[in-house]
Structure 1
Amino acid sequence: MSRRVLIKTLPLHSNYGGILQAYALQRVVRDLGCLPVTDTSKPLPLQRRLRRRLWDVRRGIRMSLPARFDWRWRSAREATASQRAFIARHITGGSFVERAYTRRGRALLARRFRTFVVGSDQVWRASYADLPAQFLDVVDDLDGDRPRRMSFAASFGVDDIAEYRDGDRARVAELIRKFDAVSVREAAGVRICRDEFGVHAEQHVDPTMLLPADHYRQLAARAGVAPAPATGRLLVYRLDANDHLERTERELAERLGVPSLELLPTGGPSPSYREYAQNRSAYDLPSIEQWLACFASADFVATDSFHGCVFSILFNRPFVVYANASRGASRFDTLLGIFGLEHHLTSASSTAVDERVFAPDWASVNRVLDAERSRALAYLTANL
């Protein structure tokens, strides 16, 4: 009988990287012969759970009204409809951890799952995640045989745990020592686990890199997306406004002699109902499949996104990346260092783009990727 596995990650909203890492980890775990479910619930104390119930009732009423009467609240749901459709089609999910704060919910969790995996993305960064829930505190209260706990490519996001409160540090240290195996995504995470919590951690690539590039191309093709929407373009995937990156984008477009393609919509936040209805393309986010097809076909990529960098490497697309410090710069250092692509990193102090970014040694990169993929799969096989 296949082992049921519960994967604990961050809530899935409209973040492309967050959605794709959850998809990839679940797919890989399933391919290894398990029955995975991704839990994206957010454990809350009783008072906040009651408030959420009231909010759900209010939301139901609001959703029953015509869109134009309550547009400011609903615009985000309309704009992110394609992401939610992808999650519904491709990721098996449930709110088991949230329910486990009741006796009945704990019994259900214990009955259905005896193996728990935390990962991936910045699941252990205090400013993004619920601590100590992301270290599986709820598993301590389960009846029956001792559950198996492990992580895969979990990320602290930054170089230290200064964001952690003192009480959380002590509790996290207690919880992580109960893990059967610990895997982190960044080199800094290995050091944090050793120096702060006294545990050994292995370092592995993001789970999106465990699936081959052709898997993502086929995913886009099955959705009917145009096969090469960014051919002959400089693909720009920018999460935050940045003068240096925008200047670099203009220089790259001129150097390459190709037009730019902004991947994210250019409309501002919270449009009126009339503005949205008249120009939906300025506000609707591209689907996951469109996003993948653009990275797969771009002539060159300029980004400040970690997963934008990941998929540039996966699809062997020349790229430059601006290390977005507020979102976690250490992630870029480890990723680029693994593949010997440190010169693809640009910053506010950079005066020019390194000439090597225009002709990467993809054969060498792919050999390293194959080795990293094999090592990660061996870890998962041994510990699930």
Structure 2
Amino acid sequence: INDDMKESKIAQLTMLGREYNYNLGANLQAYALHTLLLKSGFNVEIIDYSRRSRSFARSVSSSIKSKGIKYVVNRALPWLKRRFFGKKERLVSRQVPPVPVEARIRQIENIKKFREQFLRFSPRKYCELADFKKIKNSYDAYIVGSDLVWSPKYNREEHLSVYLLSFVGEGKLKISYAASVGEKISEWAQPLFRRYIPKFHFLSVREKESARAIEHCTRIRPKVVLDPTALLSDEEWMSIAKKPVNFVEPPYILVYDLYRSNEIKPIVEEIGKRKTLNLVKYSYSKNCFSFYTYGPREFLWLIKNAEFVVSSSFHGTLLAVIFNKPFYAVDPSPFAPRSRILDFLDDLGLRNRFIVNPKDLLNLSFEDTINWDRVNELLEDKKRCSLNFLRKALEALK
């Protein structure tokens, strides 16, 4: 960057706070964008957004007063359908082994250590939209993304208002990088998108489906870019990877069963026996090695040294590709959007690595038949386009 841009102060806003979100992928994508901005010479802080949960009664009462009863009913219907009519499907697919409190505490402690070492947060914590209005002019640029920051399914109205940068003052640069809707924009959320999307100076999303949803709602077509995790190279990720103190010796299959764990587990156990491969799983288990309590650095090392990867997580799939590890991606729906995995695989000619039914893994080859030269070439091309978008956006700070 130019010398006159080095004093620019940038706010990075994503689904992360000092005390919020201990998902491995969420932390790695935040680290990737944070690192790119820091290496470019910018003064960047991740806004410590610790989303405060209102009581149900308070939320309903506030919404009725401000929006009316019809609005509340329209908001409630989709949730009620998922809650009652979708219950059987969730019980079948989402059951995961219970996690002891001690294991959860270790996981949080290890991820906090990672954040303290590699991420620079804002000095102050922000919990509600009103808090953000105090920093509407505190930064030269505001970057939101990546992850499901624009998903009406995972965010209430107040959250979306924050992630759509509604609080930012006039004249300040507003950028979205690889933001994700994850699904169609719900009717209740459409006015927010129509009001705030046109105010972005540079607009990008992570998936084609997100781009279509925003265009349908606002008539504005965003640029589609890579998740920031894909912008760092194998070597850059391994520079922070850390060998776990206790681990299973290779060769092993790494199983990032973030979703549909109980369906995936018996299948990969059978495959492990057939192939005489150890298993390293995310889901907590006393009978099998689990990396549930490990931080992002150990997670990177385990993927890099795996013989094969099976993942129902988007970021698990993405890292397998970066490290050129043979893999299968298991459909995470209905618990997480499949579009982010499918778009990524389609762009690299890897749709055949996507598996809807985990039982199909029993009939598939676990040999490395992927043309990595071609995949890496396609990924580098996508990376250049994504970095160019980010570069042009930041040059507006001149």
TM-score range, shorter chain: 0.7 to 0.9
Q: d(CA) in 2 for partners of 1:4 and 1:230?
A: 45
Matched, 1:358 2:368: yes
Of residues 227, 232, 250 in structure 2, which corresponds to 1:211? 232
Identity of aligned residues (%): 21
Structure 2 equivalent of residue 173 of structure 1: 194
Of residues 97, 119, 123 in structure 1, which corresponds to 2:145? 119
Give the secondary-structure state (helix, strand or coil) at the position aligned to 2:213: helix
Distance 1:101 1:316, change over 3 A: same
Q: d(CA) in 2 for partners of 1:73 and 1:252?
A: 30
Return 5+ residue gaps in structure 1 as ranges: 49-71, 269-280
Q: d(CA) in 2 for partners of 1:245 and 1:306?
A: 16
Q: Which AA in structure 2 matches 1:373?
A: K
Contact (CA 8 Å) 1:117, 1:152: kept in 2 or not?
Answer: yes
Shift of 1:35: 1.6
Shift of 1:330: 1.0
Structure 1 equivalent of residue 130 of structure 2: 101
Give the secondary-structure state (helix, strand or coil) at the position aligned to 1:236: strand
Structure 1 equivalent of residue 389 of structure 2: 379
Of residues 112, 128, 133 in structure 2, which corresponds to 1:84? 112
Contact (CA 8 Å) 1:82, 1:285: kept in 2 or not?
Answer: yes
Contact (CA 8 Å) 1:244, 1:347: kept in 2 or not?
Answer: no
Q: Deviations over 1:132-157 (max 9, x none)?
A: 22101111xx3xx5111111111112
Of residues 329, 333, 338 in structure 2, which corresponds to 1:321? 329
Contact (CA 8 Å) 1:322, 1:345: kept in 2 or not?
Answer: yes
Instruction: Supply the RMSD in Å over aligned alpha carbons.
Output: 3.0
Of residues 293, 301, 305 in structure 2, which corresponds to 1:297? 305
Shift of 1:371: 1.0
Q: Which AA in structure 1 matches 2:32?
A: A
Shift of 1:324: 0.5
TM-score, with length taken from structure 1 = 0.79
Q: d(CA) in 1 for partners of 2:301 and 2:54?
A: 43
Matched, 1:14 2:19: no
1:40-55 correspondence runs (5 A): 40-42=48-50
Shift of 1:351: 3.9
Structure 2 equivalent of residue 337 of structure 1: 346
Q: d(CA) in 1 for partners of 2:55 and 2:273?
A: 56
Q: d(CA) in 1 for partners of 2:151 and 2:178?
A: 13
Q: d(CA) in 2 for partners of 1:15 and 1:79?
A: 10
Distance 1:251 1:337, change over 3 A: farther
Shift of 1:120: 0.3
Distance 1:356 1:237, change over 3 A: closer
Contact (CA 8 Å) 1:230, 1:298: kept in 2 or not?
Answer: no
Q: Which AA in structure 2 matches 1:33?
A: G
Distance 1:101 1:43, change over 3 A: farther
Contact (CA 8 Å) 2:180, 2:205: kept in 1 or not?
Answer: yes
Size of the alignment, in residue pairs? 337
TM-score, with length taken from structure 2 = 0.76
Shift of 1:33: 2.7
Distance 1:284 1:305, change over 3 A: closer
